[in-house]
Copies of this chain bind each other. A is one copy, B any other.
């Protein structure tokens, strides 16, 4: 038997993400991917059943990575401020450690892969996050609110900052780069909104 070249396999994954981020799913093709990796198209069909299988597999693997990063050192029994701070830390770390991966996820979110992508790695994740909110609410640290309201206040601002950062320029026209200072300033406002 011959062993599969795991370097090549990894190259395929990285290149696929890079191409999709750059040109969108719309501008992505198997032939282009093969060419960019300097391998034969047919090789892609050894690794993956078809185009959908390729995209979904890479998506789910990346999703798992995100999920693992976000859950790290997080305990749903933490206080509102401690717990949320850890969440912001983890999510921020993921963004900076894997620049572009958020853009990759944006592509998936606005595609037909969305549902399968989310369902893949979000199960455990949902449970832990839901538990945390419930604890905090039961302890009376925050008012009664729906999960949607909670999420919208607690995390949407963070992802908005990330998008500004990715686009590299603010609405005001000035170039923009996220800094720790801006991040934690925004975090403090979020805490102010949520705390009773």
Minimum Cβ distance to chain B for residue A108 (Å): 9
Which residues, 38 to 69 on A, are CB-close (under 8 Å) to B?
A: none
Query: A189 near B194 (CB under 8 angstroms)?
Result: yes
How many identical subunits does the complex contain? 2
Task: Evaluate contact between A189 and B193: CB separation under 8 angstroms.
Answer: yes
Q: Provide the residues of chain B in CB contact with A151, threshold 8 Å.
A: 160, 164, 171
- Minimum CB distance partner of A22 in chain B: B112
Q: Which of A103, A182, A189 has its CB near the most chain B CB atoms (within 10 A)?
A: A189
A112 touches B24 (CB 8 A): yes
Residue pair A171, B26 in contact (C-beta under 8 Å): no
Contact B25 A24 (CB under 8 A): yes
The answer to whether A112 and B23 have CB atoms under 8 Å apart is: yes
Question: How far, in whole Å, are A149 and B156 apart by their CA atoms in the complex?
Answer: 12
Alpha-carbon distance between A190 and B27 when the two chains are bound, in angstroms = 38
> In the assembled complex, which residues on chain B have CB atoms less than 8 Å from the CB atom of A160?
148, 151-152, 155-156
Contact between chains at B171 and A147 (CB < 8 Å): yes
Residue among B148, B158, B178 making CB contact with A182, cutoff 8 Å: B148
- What's the tally of chain A residues with a CB closer than 8 Å to chain B? 46
Residues B172 and A126 in contact, CB atoms below 8 Å apart: yes
Is the beta-carbon distance between A149 and B193 smaller than 8 angstroms? no
A107 contacts across to B, CB distance below 8 A: 110
Q: Does any Cβ of B come within 8 Å of A186's Cβ? A: yes
Instruction: State the A residues within 8 Å of B (CB).
Output: 23-27, 103, 106-107, 109-112, 122, 126, 129-130, 145-149, 151-153, 155-161, 164, 170-173, 176, 178, 182, 185-186, 189-190, 192-194
Task: Sort A-B residue pairs by CB-CB distance and give the 6 closest, nearest first.
Answer: A193-B193, A156-B160, A152-B157, A152-B160, A156-B156, A189-B193
Please name 28 pairs of A and B residues whose Cβ atoms are closer than 8 Å in the assembled complex, sorted by A: A23-B112, A24-B26, A24-B111, A25-B26, A26-B26, A106-B109, A106-B110, A109-B110, A110-B110, A126-B173, A129-B171, A130-B171, A146-B170, A146-B182, A146-B185, A147-B172, A148-B176, A148-B178, A151-B171, A152-B157, A152-B160, A153-B186, A153-B190, A153-B193, A155-B160, A156-B156, A189-B194, A193-B193
